Amino acid sequence: MNTEKVVNTVVDCCGNEIPSAILYQEGGLLYLWEIACLSSSAHNLGNCQCINHNATEEVPVSTQYVIERFGSEALDGFEAPGTEQAVLDAFGIEVEELETFIRISYQLGVNPLPALRKKTAIPIVFLDGSFDPSCLDEEDVVFIVNSRGDISAEINNQTK
């Protein structure tokens, strides 16, 4: 399910109010699409042809960034965060990048968990077999790493 919400608008040269920032969720991750050039002719905001720069940008964003910039009500209507969003919120990178770091660390014989634990206050546990969520405290989020370098999140006792 893709959900999107206009979180900011701007008035174009014809006096029409158009979206200048749209927040949407795809694959469990929040993305922000935003007009980067407020003189873009492509959006009827001026005469810039945006040849040397992009007229818009689209980037994954943390939950905290959305709250700070648009308020917590901007998150209303979106699915609960999954592993993808929890990883971005905690480490500032996407889950695939983090799993690559973990796999390479294990291949080099380096334990990545101490470095990850320094980066976030969210508990990180290593599990190499079956997982019993009842063994965890009532934490909101716990990251689970296995010997293959996969990371998942136990969010409010619901493995994602």
Which pLDDT tens digit goes with each residue over 81-126? 888 999 999 999 999 999 999 999 999 999 999 999 999 988 888 8
Are 88 and 25 in a shared domain?
no
pLDDT for residue 65 is more than 80: yes
Q: Is residue 62 located within the same domain as residue 130?
A: no
The answer on 22 and 65 residing in a single domain is yes
Least confident of 17-31, 64-78, 114-128: 114-128
Question: In what side-by-side order are the strands of the sheet with 29-35?
Answer: 3-11, 17-26, 29-35, 56-60
Closest to 29 in 3D by CA, of 73, 71, 92, 72: 92
Residue 157 CB contacts under 8 Å (≥ 6 apart), including other chains: 133, 136, 138
Which residue has better confidence, 116 or 149?
116
The count of structural domains within the chain is: 2
* Domain end position, chosen among 34, 56, 75: 75
- Same-domain status, 67 and 32: yes
Going by the DSSP 8-state scheme, the letter that residue 31 receives in this structure is E
Whether residues 69 and 17 fall in one domain? yes
Average pLDDT for residues 50-62, to the nearest whole number?
95
Residue where one domain finishes, among candidates 75, 102, 137: 75
Looking at the structure, tell me whether residues 129 and 61 fall in a common domain.
no
**Are residue 63 and residue 102 in the same domain, yes or no?**
no
d(CA 8, CA 136): 40
Judge if 88 and 137 occupy the same domain.
yes
Residue range(s) defining the domain that contains residue 14: 3-75
Tell me, yes or no, whether 52 and 117 share the same domain.
no
pLDDT band at 72 (very low <50, low <70, confident <90, very high): very high
